[in-house]
């Protein structure tokens, strides 16, 4: 708001209540002119204008005032003046305005003004108000410009003397500048040191997280078994077409792509189809080979192509970020010969340096086979998966002529290994760490399995799964070699072994070790099973139905043969520890070759006693197929057999049986010893036979 006029202390340009004078707090509100010059110091703005005090009258004015008072006293009332003389007297006289005073207004409690108004600023001349007059012109146009400047400077001022650029800086100024520069350098060094320390801590933490998340040793390739040396002859890539292919081979130039084999990297090799609308269907054959690199050669992938068509466009690309190697083969090509088909033969070789470690390995093919070569030593922290549509999946096997039975053909170290194919076969030797999952649709499975030690940092069961629809299954674990060994638990490390094998129409033949669970089933296939129980010695002291090992077989029309060997008693306390040496086994001394650990053996001491096998829960079912069982002599428990029309024959030394049932059902109940094992056999028309231990003479 404008300041009050000198002739009207209660006048204002506006009636805005916040800008009015407040008699309650004694402050003036800020003027609009000084609002722009306010500062955070809250210093009042005093205009640099000196005005005369209208209350101070001159001598002539005093004389006229005295004469005027005399006339008033003599006349007894106000003197009436001529309008012209009144107007002229207004120009000469300067009395205080008689404007009525406005009623007081209440200001906010904390609305103290920041700037002070100019003292006695004159009001502008208004022709409509005849009772007010002014001596000075408006403050906006009067005086010199500097008179409008505030007397108090709002900007902060330095208390030191002004610097002289002509003089050199003093020692104190030079010292302050040096200290400032040192502080800046120290800050920069501190920031850099913090970044370096943070990077080191991040690397250490990430390395620890990687190891702990996989629950493995610093290097997953920690196998006590020696590995066979790689083959020296890798074989030439030779054109071998089928009878339907035109025999005019064209060799394409080799193509090479470098790989990054580190624990933080994945490797995926994928074969896909490139759709083409017209042309003849292209016959594709070949293989993907995982082969050990020669000496210190780097890791790479080599592509070799032979075809009877010179213009087949095969895409071979590598995504460096994900390390995905993609091989795209056209489904159809333009072809002019009707008698013979267009064919292409491919070999994709992954050269892997010894003891290479990846995060994960994934191979997916359509028509191409997948072959693992002898002498390969590599590992994957997060699992290995090999899939094919029609190609076979093969690995080298343990040769029967090998004198050193501990030598393995290769090392593919990963806690989880998955082998899946549709119509292809699965062949070779495969390690069993925590999971070995083999699955086919119509392909056969013929594998040998090598049990591996448990991971002490992440104890898990050794799970062995096999699935096939119409393919036959043949799996073999080294049971015979382990039974003849001085320390059978060196061949089968102490851990929980589970087996689950299922087919639709394929036969199953398996020699496997079992701890807590074994299940075998087929619709129409035959079962020929040999089981070696590897049991925890703590089961001898605790009889609980929830901890009983279980063995189940189930067929519809297939025949069942099951043979259970004398169990291997061990202790989970030996997991991760060293196995004490023992005197080599001599088959001529009559000592029992089986390792027996009783419940009192805290450090896996060897006992020649044979505890009762009294905690197995087994069930064998069939519809029309026969069931034949051979159980060990140490088995003790209860027997229950049920059949509609099948024959029943149960024998064993110390086995007592009772026959029940009537014309349409046959039931046998039996018991051997004082154990708590349970054996249940059920058929509809299939015959039943069981021999527990030796025959009763």
409-442 residue pLDDT tens:
999 999 999 999 999 999 999 999 999 999 999 9
3-class SS of residue 14: coil
Mean pLDDT to the nearest integer, 3-32: 47
Tokens standing for residue 422: 């549709």
Is residue 537 helix, strand or coil? helix
CA distances from 589 to 127, 583, 585, 586 (A): 143, 12, 8, 6
pLDDT band at residue 64 using 50, 70 and 90 as cut-offs: confident
> For residues 609 and 594, is the Cβ–Cβ distance under 8 A?
no
- 236 pLDDT tier (thresholds 50, 70, 90): confident
d(CA 348, CA 345): 10
* pLDDT of 159 above 70: no
Maximum CA extent, the chain? 170
Of 5-9, 159-163, 364-368, highest mean pLDDT: 364-368
Q: Does this model's pTM top 0.75?
A: no
Which residue in this structure is represented by tokens 């920041």? 114
How many Cα atoms sit within 13 Å of 86 on the Cβ side? 8
State how far the Cα of 464 lies from the Cα of 98, in Å rounded to an integer.
113
Q: Which of 115-119, 414-418, 565-569, 648-652 has the lowest mean pLDDT?
A: 115-119
| Six token digits for residue 493 | 């490390």
Instruction: For 496-518, give the secondary structure using H, E and C.
Output: CEEEEEEECCCCEEEEEEECCEE
Cα 347–chain centre separation: 34
Coil, helix or strand at residue 421: strand
HSE of 338 in the Cβ direction (CA atoms, 13 Å)?
Answer: 0
Who wins on pLDDT, 361 or 140? 361
Cα(30)–Cα(20) distance, integer angstroms: 10
CA–CA separation, 561 and 559 (whole Å): 7
Contacts of 554 (CB under 8 A, 6+ apart): 520, 521, 522, 620, 621, 622
Q: Residue 336's pLDDT is what?
A: 81
More confident: 498 or 9: 498
Phi and psi (nearest 5°) for 88?
-70, -35
CA distance 566 to 580: 22
Residue 164: pLDDT band with limits 50, 70, 90: low
Give pLDDT, residue 550.
95
C-alpha angle 484-412-369 in degrees, rounded to nearest 5: 110
Question: What is the pLDDT confidence band of residue 573, given thresholds at 50, 70 and 90?
Answer: low
How far apart are alpha carbons 683 and 667 in whole angstroms? 11
Q: Is the confidence at residue 108, as pLDDT, over 70?
A: no
In tens, the pLDDT along 460-500 reads 999 999 999 999 999 999 999 888 888 887 788 889 999 99
Q: pLDDT averaged over the chain? A: 76
Q: Above 70 in pLDDT, residue 682?
A: yes
Q: Regarding predicted confidence, which is higher, 400 or 585?
A: 400
pLDDT band at residue 532 under the 50/70/90 scheme: very high
User: Which residue would you say has higher pLDDT here, 664 or 77?
Assistant: 664
Which pLDDT score is estimated for 667?
95
């Amino acid at each position: 708001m404008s300041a009050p006029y000198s002739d009207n202390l209660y006048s204002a340009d506006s009636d805005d209540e916040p800008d009015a004078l407040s008699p309650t707090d004694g402050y003036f509100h800020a003027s609009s002119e000084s609002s722009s010059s306010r500062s955070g110091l809250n210093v009042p703005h005093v205009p640099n204008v000196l005005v005369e005090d209208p209350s101070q009258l001159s001598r002539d004015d005093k004389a006229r005032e005295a004469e005027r008072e005399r006339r008033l006293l003599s006349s007894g009332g106000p003197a009436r003046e001529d309008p012209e003389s009144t107007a002229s007297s207004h120009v000469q006289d300067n009395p205080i305005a008689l404007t009525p005073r406005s009623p007081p207004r209440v200001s906010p409690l904390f609305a103290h003004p920041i700037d002070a108004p100019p003292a006695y600023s004159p009001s502008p001349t208004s022709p409509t108000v005849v009772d007010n007059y002014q001596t000075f012109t408006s403050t906006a146009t009067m005086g010199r410009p500097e008179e409008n400047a505030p007397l108090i400077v709002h900007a902060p001022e330095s208390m030191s003397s002004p610097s002289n650029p002509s003089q050199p800086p003093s020692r104190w100024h030079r010292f302050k500048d040096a200290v400032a520069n040192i502080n800046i350098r120290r800050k920069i060094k501190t920031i850099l040191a913090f970044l370096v320390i943070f990077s080191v801590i991040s690397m250490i933490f990430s390395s620890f997280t990687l190891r702990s998340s996989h629950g493995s040793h610093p290097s997953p390739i920690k196998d006590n078994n020696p590995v066979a040396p790689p083959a020296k002859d890798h074989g030439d890539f030779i054109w071998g077409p089928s009878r339907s292919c035109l025999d005019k081979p064209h060799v394409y130039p080799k193509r090479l792509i470098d790989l990054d084999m580190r624990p933080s990297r994945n490797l995926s090799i994928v074969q896909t189809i490139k759709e083409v609308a017209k042309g003849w269907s292209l016959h594709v054959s070949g293989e993907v080979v995982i082969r050990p690199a020669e000496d210190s050669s780097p890791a790479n992938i080599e592509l070799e192509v032979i075809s009877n068509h010179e213009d087949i466009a095969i895409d071979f690309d590598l995504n460096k970020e994900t390390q995905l190697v993609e091989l795209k083969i056209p489904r159809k090509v333009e072809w002019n010969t009707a008698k013979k088909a267009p064919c292409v033969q491919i070999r994709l070789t992954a050269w892997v340096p010894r003891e290479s470690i990846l995060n994960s390995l994934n191979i997916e093919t359509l028509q191409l086979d997948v072959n693992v070569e002898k002498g390969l030593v590599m590992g994957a922290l997060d699992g290995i998966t090999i899939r094919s549509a029609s190609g076979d999946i093969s690995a080298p096997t343990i040769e029967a002529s090998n004198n050193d039975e501990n030598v393995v053909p290769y090392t593919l170290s990963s806690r989880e290994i998955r082998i899946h194919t549709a119509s292809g076969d699965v062949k070779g030797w495969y390690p069993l760490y925590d999971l070995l999952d083999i699955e086919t649709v119509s392909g056969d499975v013929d594998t040998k399995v090598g049990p591996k030690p448990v991971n002490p940092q992440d104890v898990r069961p050794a799970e062995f799964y096999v699935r096939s629809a119409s393919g036959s299954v043949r799996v073999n674990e080294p049971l015979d070699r382990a039974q003849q060994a001085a320390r059978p638990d060196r061949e089968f490390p102490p851990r929980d072994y589970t087996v689950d094998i299922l087919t639709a129409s394929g036969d199953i033949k398996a020699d496997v070790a079992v701890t807590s669970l074994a299940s075998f089933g087929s619709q129409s296939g035959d079962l020929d099973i040999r089981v070696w129980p590897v049991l925890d010695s703590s089961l001898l002291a605790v009889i609980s139905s929830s901890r009983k090992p279980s063995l189940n077989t189930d067929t519809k029309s297939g025949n069942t043969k099951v043979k259970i060997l004398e169990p291997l008693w061990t202790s989970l306390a030996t997991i991760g520890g060293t196995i004490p040496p023992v005197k080599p086994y001599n088959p001529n001394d009559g000592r029992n070759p089986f390792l027996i650990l009783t419940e009192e053996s805290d450090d896996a001491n060897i006992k020649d006693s044979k505890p009762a096998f009294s905690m197995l829960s087994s069930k064998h079912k069939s519809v029309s197929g026969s069931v034949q069982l051979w159980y060990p002599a140490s088995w003790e428990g209860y027997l229950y057999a049920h059949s509609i029309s099948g024959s029943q024959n149960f024998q064993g030394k110390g086995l007592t049986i009772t026959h029940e049932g009537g014309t349409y059902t046959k039931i046998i109940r039996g018991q051997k010893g004082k154990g708590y094992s349970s054996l249940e056999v059920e058929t509809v028309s299939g015959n039943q036979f069981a021999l527990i231990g030796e025959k009763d003479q």
